[in-house]
């Protein structure tokens, strides 16, 4: 209540002290987060018809969903159509607030219909307060368009599971230092939860080997350097050799590693990877060099 009279240092101390609640909230929701990833995984990785993960939210929650979705392609070389962020008000709402759009419970109908939502998809609504009509209503819209799709709600308030919601994840971060400013503790907790969800899903999808981003594609100087370091870590090659191998693999670190480990050219190594659905660990466990 005395926030308005605190010094700069006092403000920082108070905010950081309150932020300690973020990790506690995430730890308490560990089981809910794991259950959600376990439910999404078979849909997302289905060999005949892989599904998508779609984030749905308004305001800060929507922006965080779009951010997480946008960061998966360069990190994991996953298609931009596999993890999708939808925000109330469209892309313009990423920079300019359009909070009025959050009051329409059927506001996501157009975007979800345009995606051709199907039973392999998973829709995760994000709403710090747990009641945002655009987000919660989006779950009903999703079930209407694809009754077999998986739905979830990620919230930072203790709410009852709404209709049309298969999984409820509650991150109980408590009141904000600045009352109602959910871009603070709730925003931090939401960002961390989305990191955990998407990264765990990518790991379970075989897009990680050891703890390395083997599925990255070297599309710029930074990623080329990172790709070479990943290759060097797995193969033991020097930097120059790793860069040359990366170039022969068309900038694909995973393929470069498979080529070196199996003693094969790019096309042959890719065929081997295809037999294990791109899971490098499975390939290296079962195939001998040159075979």
What integer pLDDT is reported at residue 172 of this predicted model? Answer: 97
What integer pLDDT is reported at residue 134 of this predicted model? Answer: 96
Count of other CB atoms within 10 angstroms of residue 46: 11
The sign of the dihedral angle between the CA atoms of 216, 190, 143, 133 is negative
What integer pLDDT is reported at residue 290 of this predicted model? Answer: 47
Q: Give yes or no for a contact between 131 and 57, defined as CB atoms under 8 angstroms apart.
A: no
Domain 3-204 sits in CATH 2.130.10.10: no
Active-site residue, 38 included:
no
Tokens linked to 268: 């042959």
Tokens linked to 59: 């305001």
Q: Where do the structural domains in the chain lie, given as residue ranges?
A: 3-204, 221-286
Q: Do domains 3-204 and 221-286 have the same CATH topology?
A: no
Query: Considering the chain, what percentage of its residues have pLDDT values greater than 90?
Result: 84
Q: Give yes or no for a contact between 194 and 184, defined as CB atoms under 8 angstroms apart.
A: no
- In the set 18, 41, 71, 241, the catalytic residue is 71
Active-site residue, 102 included:
yes
Tokens linked to 7: 């010094």
What integer pLDDT is reported at residue 37 of this predicted model? Answer: 98
Mean residue pLDDT of the chain comes to: 93
- pTM for this entry: 0.91
What are the residue ranges in the chain where pLDDT is below 70? 98-99, 287-291
Count of other CB atoms within 10 angstroms of residue 263: 12
Burial class (CB in 10 A: 0-12, 13-18, 19+), 52: buried
Question: Using one digit for the tens of pLDDT, what is the confidence trace for 76-121?
Answer: 888 999 999 999 998 888 888 766 788 899 999 999 999 999 999 9
Domain 221-286 sits in CATH 1.10.10.10: no
Helices (H), 103-182: 109-114, 133-145
Q: How far is CA 72 from CA 34, 160, 251, in A?
A: 19, 31, 17
Q: Give yes or no for a contact between 122 and 114, defined as CB atoms under 8 angstroms apart.
A: no
- In the set 102, 111, 140, 176, the catalytic residue is 102
What integer pLDDT is reported at residue 163 of this predicted model? Answer: 93
Strand residues in 73-147 grouped as ranges (E): 83-87, 122-126
What integer pLDDT is reported at residue 95 of this predicted model? Answer: 84
What integer pLDDT is reported at residue 74 of this predicted model? Answer: 84
Question: Using one digit for the tens of pLDDT, what is the confidence trace for 234-246?
Answer: 999 999 999 999 9
């Amino acid at each position: 209540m005395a926030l308005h009279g605190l010094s700069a240092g006092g403000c920082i101390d108070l905010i950081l002290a309150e932020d300690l609640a973020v990790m506690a909230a995430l730890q308490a929701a560990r089981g809910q987060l794991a259950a959600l990833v376990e439910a999404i995984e078979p849909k997302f990785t289905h060999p005949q018809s892989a599904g998508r993960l779609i984030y749905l939210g308004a305001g800060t929650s929507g922006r965080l969903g779009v951010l997480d979705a946008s960061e998966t392609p360069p990190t994991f070389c996953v298609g931009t159509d596999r993890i999708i962020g939808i925000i109330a008000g469209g892309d313009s709402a990423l920079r300019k607030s359009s909070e009025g759009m959050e009051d329409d419970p059927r506001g996501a109908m157009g975007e979800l219909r345009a995606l051709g939502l199907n039973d392999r998809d998973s829709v995760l609504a994000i709403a710090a307060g747990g009641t945002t009509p655009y987000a919660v209503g989006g779950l009903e819209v999703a079930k209407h368009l694809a009754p077999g799709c998986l739905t979830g709600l990620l919230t930072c308030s203790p709410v009852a599971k709404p209709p049309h919601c298969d999984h409820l994840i509650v991150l109980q971060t408590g009141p904000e230092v600045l009352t109602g400013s959910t871009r603070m503790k709730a925003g931090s907790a939401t960002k961390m939860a989305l990191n955990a969800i998407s990264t765990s899903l990518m790991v379970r999808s075989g897009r990680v080997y050891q703890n390395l981003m083997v599925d990255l594609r070297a599309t710029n100087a930074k990623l080329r350097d990172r790709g070479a370091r990943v290759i060097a870590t797995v193969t033991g090659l020097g930097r120059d050799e790793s860069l040359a191998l990366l170039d022969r693999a068309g900038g694909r670190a995973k393929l470069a590693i498979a080529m070196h480990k199996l003693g094969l050219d790019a096309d042959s190594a890719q065929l081997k990877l295809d037999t294990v659905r791109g899971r490098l660990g499975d390939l290296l466990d079962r195939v001998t060099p040159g075979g």
